[in-house]
Structure 1
Amino acid sequence: MEFKKAVRKQAKLRLALSGPSGSGKTYGALLLAKGMGGRTAVIDTERGSASLYSHIHDFDALDLDPPYTPERFVDAVHAAERAGYDVLVIDSITHEWSGVGGCLELVDEIARARYKGNSWSAWNDITPRHRAFLDTILRSPMHIIATMRSKTETAQTEENGRKKVVKLGMKAEQRDGSEYEFTTVLDIVHDGHYATPSKDRTGLFTGDPHQITEATGAMLLD
């Protein structure tokens, strides 16, 4: 065992972009990757949508079709590592959670097949598989940018005797707590590719909306 001086540039970026469908997550991820430089690979679960932006950045794509099991994502990440890519975009990791053959479907299937419908027992089988997926991202020698779909979270309240629905904000479609695995999480807030940080260990972002550009990607590596 040997201790070494911590150097920021030695750390690989783990960044998540969260936003509703059509908010510009893929476009923003590719702009960041372009600014970071090096060879870029994209794991595309969005029916080839990343290739629509091939004019803004030179990258290689792997179209990942269902079933979206954790193991298929792990295999795809390892394939990118073996090919020597510098930056990997995973668009999107929501499918690993709630897509066809993803964790939520697997829990239902295993609960019915093995545990008489008891989903709590089924999670004992699925949680280690999901954890292995996250660990693969964390331990990769590549910079990784992952996109996550988000949806509006609401709650019903009562005011002056009348019930109403209030918006609580946006919630990423991934397992609760997954965002804590990333160095930085940027929530895309509206058109124009502006994002606000919901988590940032780099200290580079303020709470104000920040426009995602190539320069943002370069800044993340400085």
Structure 2
Amino acid sequence: MKKTLIALLSALIATIAISVSVTLWQERTETNEKMKEYKNDNLNKQKTIEQYRLKELKNSQKQINQTDDTFDDELTDLLMNNRDLINGLYSYSSTETRLENIKQYLTEDQYAKMLKTSADGHQENIKSKLDSLNVYVSEGENQSVRTIVNEVTSATEIDNTIMKQRIYVKISYEMQKEKWKAKEILFTAIPSEDIKMGES
């Protein structure tokens, strides 16, 4: 009788243990499946977020590049105009043709000012040659108005006498009909001990 009771108890315990094990295994399997679903769902969300982020980054980079390209083109045009204007101001064989050669780079007001100044001056036999040019572009909030400071070294010949000079030429440009025009020009002489005089 005792043996039978023990056997029944052992069988019952084994059955309960198996049932519990099966239940735990099922729960663990379900938990693992849910975890897989969560992971997959999270992975998909992360992929979507990453794709969106890359798309936004690409779009913003494209906008930046377009802005940079526009800025580079405008700056190139500005620097080319500035170079040609400085060349016209400091490389000439006659003062009579000098102003006409740079007229296309000036606003109407600036041209009128320079025309009046040249009419008031002496019309000596003057020639000039640009020796060197350093250019400094100022940063400005208004992109339609830009300022350039030019450090110019030139050799001016007056009645067979050559004079070397260094000067700062500050030029304010403004955009007019999609072209950069000099609206104001300020000249400041640079004191120098190495100004050379000579006979040609």
TM-score after normalising by structure 1: 0.20
TM-score, normalising length from structure 2? 0.22
Higher RCO structure (Cα 8 Å, ≥6 apart):
1
